[in-house]
C-alpha cells in the first residue's frame, strides 16, 4: 500500500467520522445551549434539566439521520474494501 493511498484512506475515514457524528453532536449542542440560557434566565440549577433534553435531542437526531449515517458508513466501507482488494 502506497503512502498516498493510505493517507487518502485515512483522510476519508476521518471525514466520514465527522459527518456521521455531526447530526447528533449538533443537536445536543443546540439543545444544551438553549437549556443553559433558560436555566440562567430563570435561575433554576437542576442537573436533570440539562441532561434529559440533550439525551432526547440526541436520540431524535439519531432516529432521523440513522439511514443517512448507515448509507455513509456502508459507502466508505465499500470504497475501503475495493481499495484493499485492488491492492491484493
Separation CA 56–CA 20 (nearest Å):
18
Separation CA 4–CA 74 (nearest Å):
23
In the prediction, which pLDDT does 67 show?
96
pLDDT per position as a tens digit, 27-85: 999 999 999 999 889 888 887 788 999 999 999 999 999 999 999 999 999 998 998 88
Cβ neighbour number for residue 56 with a 10 Å cutoff: 13
> Could you tell me the end-to-end alpha-carbon distance of the chain, in angstroms, rounded to an integer?
9
Q: Domain extents for the chain?
A: 3-87
Q: Is the pLDDT of residue 17 over 90?
A: yes
Q: Residue 88: which pLDDT band, with cuts at 50, 70 and 90?
A: low
Residue with cell 485515512: 10
The grid cell for 40 is 440562567
Amino acid at each position: 500500500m502506497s503512502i498516498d493511498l493510505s493517507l487518502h484512506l485515512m483522510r476519508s475515514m476521518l471525514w466520514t467520522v465527522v459527518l456521521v457524528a455531526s447530526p447528533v453532536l449538533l443537536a445536543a449542542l443546540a439543545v444544551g445551549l438553549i437549556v443553559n440560557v433558560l436555566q440562567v434566565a430563570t435561575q433554576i440549577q437542576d442537573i436533570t434539566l440539562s441532561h434529559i433534553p440533550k439525551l432526547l435531542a440526541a436520540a431524535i437526531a439519531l432516529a432521523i439521520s440513522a439511514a443517512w449515517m448507515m448509507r455513509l458508513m456502508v459507502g466508505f466501507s465499500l470504497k475501503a474494501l475495493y481499495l484493499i482488494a485492488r491492492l491484493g
